[in-house]
Amino acid sequence: MGTPLRAGVAVLSAVLLAALGAAPRAVAASDGPTIVVQDGVTQPVFGYGDAIRERLFIDSTFDSDNDGLRDIIAFDLMRPAATANGLKVPVIMDASPYYSTVCRGNESECKADLDGDGLLDKWPLFYDNYFVPRGYAVILLDMVGTNNSTGCPTTNANQDNLSAKQAINWLNGRATARNAAGQVVTADWHNGKSGMIGKSYDGSLAMATAVTGVKGLTTVVPISGPTEYYDYVRSNGVVTRGNSYVASLANTVTNPERREYCKPVRDAMAAADGDETGDYTAFWNERSYVKKVPNMTASVLLYHGLNDDNVRADHFSKFWYALAENNVQRKLWLSQEGHVDPFDSRRAVWVSTLHRWFDFWLHGVANGIMDEPRVDLERAADVWETHADWPIPGKADTEVFLQPGTTGAGGLKLVPTAKPATGAFQDSRTQSQNTMILNPDTVQPNRLAFLSAPLTAPLHISGTPTVQLRASADQTDTNFGAILVDYGTDERVAHRASGEGIVTLTTEDCWGLNSPTDDGCYKQTAKRVATADYELVTKGIMDAQNRQSIRTAVPLVVGESYNFTFPLLPEDYVFKPGHRLGVIIVASYPQYSSQADTTAANIQVALKSSKIVLPVVGGTPAAHAAGL
C-alpha cells in the first residue's frame, strides 16, 4: 500500500525490517552481488543515490529528416552501482516523444539536467525510484526527432516505430552506442532481457517495437496506446481527427527550436494523410501494429480505459483479439476511467502487479502471476472483478431487432417485426450528442430512437457490438452513426468530467527511493463519480461510401437500398434490472467526427432487416431472461 506524505513504501519497509534485524540485503559472496527475493518479489537492496547514470547515443538505421545522415537516438540510462561489480540486470524502458514537451504522468514531469553535466537529475515517473533498487536498469529513450535525438518525428511511421529497437539491439550487442565524448559503451551488465512500458504514444512505441519481433525484448506493458493509427484519426471511412492531425501531433512533440526545421517532414505527412476522403491507404499501413502481431515473441500486460475517448477502446480490443489468435502470453486490465494511467486509478495494486510481472518475465522469479486470472476488470468505481478471459467466456452474439414505434420511440426485441416497416430521418450536420440521446420517447426529425422494455434481470455485454442497417438515401453520400445507451439512474464513474474519472488530491505517497533531486512521490487520486439518468455505453460511425471497404469509396445510387454493417466501440457493461436499452441511429455525428457530411441526406431505414448485434454473456437465453 502507498504511505501518505512522502513516506515511501519501500523505504519504510526496509527501515522496519532493519529494526527487526531482518532487512534483506544483497549477497556479498565471492561470485559477486545478486538480487534478493523475499516474499516472492525482488527487494530494494541496491542504492538509488549512487546508481550509475549515463546518456548514450546510437546511430539509427534511418534518416527521418532526409539530411543524408542517419538519425541519432539518445537515451538516458540508470543502473545499480553493483552492475560495475558483476551484477547482471534486465532493462525496463519507456520510449517517448514527450520528455521535453508534453512531459509524463499526471503531474507532467519532464526530464531535467539541473547542473548542466549532460546527465539527468530529474527522471520522470517512478520506474527508476522503484525498480533500480530492486535490481533493474531503467532507460528513458527519446523518440526520433525529440529532445536529445536528431531527425524529425513522423507520428508512428517506421522511423518513430524503430527508435526503441536501436536500444534493444545495443543491449544485445547488435548496435554501437557512444557517450557524449564519443567513447564506445557496451552493455556488459545486461542479463539479456528487456521490457518496455508506456502510456499513450509511449504505449504505441512499446507495441511497435514488440511487433518487429526484435530479439531481447521479453515483455511489454502498453497503457492506453494506439494500435492502429488509422483508427486514431478515422473510423470506417469517416475522419474523426482532421486538419492533418498527424502533422499537428508531430509539431507538438518537436522541440520548439526545431519545429521550423522539421516543417518539410510535417508537410509531406499532411499531403499524404488523405484527409480529403478518410480512406485507408499505405500511409496508414505502416502505422498499423495489429496485422504484425504474428511477429511477436514478447508477452503483454495490456491496460486500457473502457471510456477512453482519446485512444478509444477499439485500439485495445483489436490488438487483444490478435494476441489471442496468435497465442501470445498476455494479461489485460480494463478500467472505467478515460485516458488515465493505472498508477492514478488503482495505484497500490498496479505497482504490485507490475512488480511481480517484471520479476517473472525479466528476473525469472517464480511468483505464479501467469497462473492467476487473465483479466482484471473494473465494474464500478473501485469495484474490480477477475475473469478467465475477455470477452467474458460464455458471451454469444445476440441479434436485437429494431421495431417500429407509433407515437414515440421504436422498440427492441429478439425477433424482427412481423411486417415491413420504415423509419425515416434527415441528416443534420450540427445535431449535438445530447440532442441525439435525450428524450428518447420524443420523435425528432434527425434521428431514430429505439427503446427496450424495462429489464427484468441484469443484461451483461462483453465484446464488440455491431449495427446492421438496411437503408437508402436520396443523396450519393451520407454518414451513419449509432449509439447504445443505458437509460436508468445510477452512480457511475464520471469519465466525461475533468480528470476523466479521477480527482487529483493534495496528499502524496511514495514509491521507491529518493535522491536530492528526484523522489518517487506523487499526488494521490480518488475516483470522481456522478449520478445520472443515463449513460452512453458505446458508439460507432461509418461513411456510407465505405460500406464495402475502408480502402475504396463507392457512391450510393439514389433511392437504392444497401446493407450497412459497422462496429461500435468494444465494451463490458451490465445493464441493471429496471433500466432500458436504447439504440439511437443518426447520420452525421459531429461530436465523434470532424467530418460531418454536407449532403443533408434523407434516409430510409428498413426496420425488418435492421438490428444491433450485442455480445451478450449467456447469449439469447440471457437476453430473453432479461425481458428483451
* pLDDT tens sequence across 153-188: 999 999 999 999 999 999 999 999 999 999 999 999
Bridge-based pairing state of the strands 602-606 and 422-426: antiparallel
- The pLDDT, as a whole number, for residue 593 is 85
Instruction: Give counts: helices (H), strands (E), the chain.
Output: 13, 31
Residues 6+ apart with CB under 8 A from 439: none
Instruction: Please give the average per-residue pLDDT across 54-74, as a whole number.
Output: 97
Determine the pLDDT at residue 229.
95
pLDDT of 6 strictly over 70: no
pLDDT band at residue 30 under the 50/70/90 scheme: very low
Instruction: Report whether pLDDT(8) > 80.
Output: no
Distance between CA atoms of 23 and 17, rounded to whole angstroms? 4
Give me the pLDDT at residue 242, please: 82
**Calpha distance 238→217 (Å, rounded):** 36
| Spatial distance between the Cα atoms of 52 and 190, rounded to a whole number of angstroms | 14
Q: What is the pLDDT of residue 12?
A: 34
Instruction: State the Cα–Cα distance between residues 486 and 534, nearest whole angstrom.
Output: 5
143 to 146, 156, 351: CA distances (angstroms): 6, 10, 25
Residue 495 has pLDDT above 70, yes or no: yes
Task: Name which of 329, 336, 457, 339 is nearest 385 in CA terms.
Answer: 336
The SS3 assignment for 138 reads strand
Question: Does the structure show a pLDDT above 80 at 5?
Answer: no
User: How would you class 258 by CB atoms within 10 Å of its CB: exposed for 0-12, middle for 13-18, buried for 19 or more?
Assistant: middle
In the chain, the largest separation of any two C-alpha atoms, in whole Å, equals 86
What mean pLDDT is reported for the chain? 94
In the block, cell 554501437 appears at: 176
Query: Quick check: 607 and 434 in contact, CB under 8 A?
Result: no
Angle at 281 between CA 277 and CA 284, to 5 degrees: 110
- Check pLDDT > 70 for residue 482: yes
Cell of 56: 548514450
Query: What pairing do the DSSP bridges indicate for beta strands 479-493 and 529-543?
Result: antiparallel
Q: Give the least confident one: 54-63, 272-281, 382-391, 578-587.
A: 272-281
With 80 as the cut, is the pLDDT of residue 4 above it? no
pLDDT value at position 435?
A: 97
Lowest mean pLDDT among 2-11, 54-63, 251-260: 2-11
Mean pLDDT of 439-458: 97
Going from the C-alpha of 381 to that of each of 208, 350, 388, the distances in angstroms are: 32, 16, 21
Residues with Cβ within 8 Å of 133's Cβ and at least 6 positions away in sequence, in order, are 10, 44, 45, 46, 47, 48, 80, 512, 513
Task: Kindly list the catalytic residues.
Answer: 200, 308, 339
Confidence of residue 3 (pLDDT cuts 50, 70, 90): very low
Query: How confident is the model at residue 243, as a pLDDT?
Result: 78
| pLDDT above 60 (res 20) | no
| Contact residues for 120 (Cβ-Cβ < 8 A; gap 6+) | 53, 55, 76, 78, 111, 112, 113, 140
* H helix or E strand, kind and range, residue 617: strand 611-617
Specify the range with the lowest mean pLDDT, choosing from 169-173, 272-276, 536-540, 579-583.
Answer: 272-276
Mean pLDDT of 84-98: 98
Q: What is the pLDDT of residue 23?
A: 36
Is 90 exceeded by the pLDDT of residue 15? Answer: no
Q: Give the DSSP per-residue string, 159-190.
A: HHHTHHHHHHHHHTTSS-EE-TT--EE--TTE
Contacts of 435 (CB under 8 A, 6+ apart): 444, 446, 447
Alpha-carbon span 294 to 326, nearest angstrom: 6
| Contact (CB, 8 A) for 482 and 539 | yes
Cα 392 to Cα 236, 332, 462, 551, 571, distances in angstroms: 26, 12, 6, 32, 11
What is the pLDDT averaged over residues 26-45? 81
Nine cell digits for residue 45: 537492496
**pLDDT for the residue numbered 323:** 98
**Which residue type does 593 have?**
S
Nearest to 511 by CA among 369, 350, 381: 350
pLDDT band for position 25 (50/70/90)?
very low
Q: Over the stretch 553-607, which tens digit does the pLDDT of each residue have?
A: 999 999 999 999 999 999 999 999 999 999 999 999 999 987 666 789 999 999 9
Backbone angles phi, psi at 609, to 5 degrees: -110, 15
Dig out the grid coordinates for 123 from the structure: 527522471
Lowest mean pLDDT among 375-384, 434-443, 539-548, 586-595: 586-595
CA atoms within 13 A on the CB side of 440: 27
